Every structure is written in structure tokens, then in C-alpha cells.
């Protein structure tokens, strides 16, 4: 098993959009955890990629996540029409340019765009970890089924805190204090 390594990891945030989030199970918790991931990864020097599915219909990324990107790496979403981000040329080009093989995934919906993106990322030889408390679907059942399928396909499962502290590796630094403030 390979641990998450900050020099080899990229965060991918999938489709956390204005018209979709009001119907997502535990949507507020998911947004809060994604915000923590975006900010925590930025503190640790980990790049992040943001996607939006059919933005004309589903709207832009929700304000909290848009702000987290604005304040860290910049809000530059990749618009896609395929469910899998990995089937979008702009996404695959941006991911390849980063030259990192570990992908930390958050977003919605777990059983559609998150699931299909992860399956295609695994097929492209990426080591994928899904952040279970930073993904969701309209129903808890769809999320649960998707996470079970993803685990059976070789995806690692983590939580927001677990992933950030795994990437951090040790305590006692200013990075540790900053990440600890984020998750408390």
C-alpha cells in the first residue's frame, strides 16, 4: 500500500455546483470538508483541479468552494459535459502537466461523476483516494453503493482529516498548526 505523498498528490474537486448542492445529502457538510481540503492542500503545496458539469444548466461552483479556490490556487474550473472528468481533454491535459500520480477526489455526485472519473483515473494508472466525507449524492444509498463499488475497484477511502494529516506526516510545525486550525 502506498501512502499519500504531498509531492505526488493532486486534489480533484468535481462538480460542487449551485443548482446541484441544495439536493445533495449532507451537502453543507460536504462543502465544509471540501473547503478544508482545498485550503489544507494549498498550505501543503498540493495543486488542485476543479471541474463543473454543464455549468449553463447547473450553475457555477458554490460560493464557499469558489472562494476557497480564489484565495488559494485561483478559480479556473474546467467545464465538462461527460460524466467522467478523465474523458475531458482539458482535464486530462491539466492533470498530466502536473506529473503527479496520486489523486485525492472530492465532489458530487458520488455515484455518477465522482465514480466514473475515479474508474477512468484508475484505468489510466493513477492511484486514487476518495474522501468519503467530502463526497455525496442526492441519496445516502447511492453514495454508499458507489463507495462500495469504488473500494472493490481498488480505490482507497479516506476522510478529510485523515487525508490532510497523512499528507502532513508530522506535527510540531507551522504547517501542522495551520492544518489543525482548519479541521477543528
pLDDT tens digit sequence for 48-98: 999 999 999 999 999 999 999 999 888 999 999 999 999 999 999 999 999
Residue 133: closest CA among 27, 6, 21: 27
The architecture that CATH gives domain 9-183 is 3-Layer(aba) Sandwich (3.40)
Considering the chain, what percentage of its residues have pLDDT values greater than 90?
96
What would the pLDDT profile of 97-123 be if each residue is shown by its tens digit? 999 999 999 999 999 999 999 999 999
Query: Catalytic annotation on 25?
Result: no
What is 107-167 written as a DSSP string? EE-IIIIIHHHHHHHHHTT-EEEEEEEEEE-SSHHHHHHHHHHHHHTT-EEE-HHHHHHHH
Q: In the structure grid, which three cell numbers stand for residue 33, read together?
A: 470538508
The answer to whether 15 is a known catalytic residue is: yes
80 assigned to active site: yes
- The full set of domain ranges for the chain reads 9-183
130 vs 6: CA distance, rounded Å: 16
Under the banding of pLDDT at 50, 70 and 90, the label for residue 20 is very high
- Cα–Cα distances (Å) from 178 to 115, 122, 160, 173, in that order, read 31, 32, 15, 9
Task: Tell me which of 35, 41, 80, 156 is the catalytic residue.
Answer: 80
**The three grid cell numbers given for residue 170, joined into one nine-digit string:** 508530522
Catalytic residue among 35, 41, 88, 113: 113
Amino acid at each position: 500500500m502506498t501512502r499519500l505523498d504531498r509531492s505526488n498528490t493532486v486534489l480533484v474537486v468535481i462538480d460542487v455546483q449551485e443548482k446541484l448542492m441544495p439536493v445533495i445529502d449532507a451537502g453543507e457538510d460536504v462543502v465544509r470538508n471540501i473547503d478544508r481540503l482545498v485550503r489544507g492542500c494549498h498550505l501543503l503545496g498540493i495543486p488542485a483541479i476543479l471541474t463543473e458539469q454543464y455549468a449553463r444548466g447547473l450553475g457555477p461552483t458554490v460560493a464557499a468552494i469558489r472562494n476557497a479556490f480564489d484565495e488559494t490556487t485561483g478559480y479556473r474550473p474546467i467545464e465538462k459535459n461527460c460524466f467522467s472528468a478523465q474523458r475531458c481533454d482539458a482535464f486530462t491535459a491539466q492533470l498530466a502537466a502536473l506529473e503527479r500520480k496520486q489523486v485525492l477526489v472530492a465532489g458530487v455526485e458520488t455515484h455518477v461523476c465522482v465514480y466514473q472519473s475515479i474508474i477512468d483515473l484508475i484505468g489510466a494508472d493513477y492511484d486514487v483516494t476518495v474522501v468519503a466525507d467530502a463526497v455525496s449524492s442526492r441519496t445516502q444509498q447511492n453514495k454508499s453503493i458507489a463507495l462500495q463499488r469504488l473500494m472493490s475497484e481498488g480505490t482507497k477511502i479516506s476522510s478529510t482529516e485523515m487525508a490532510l494529516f497523512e499528507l502532513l506526516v508530522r506535527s510540531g510545525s507551522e504547517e501542522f498548526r495551520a492544518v489543525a486550525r482548519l479541521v477543528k
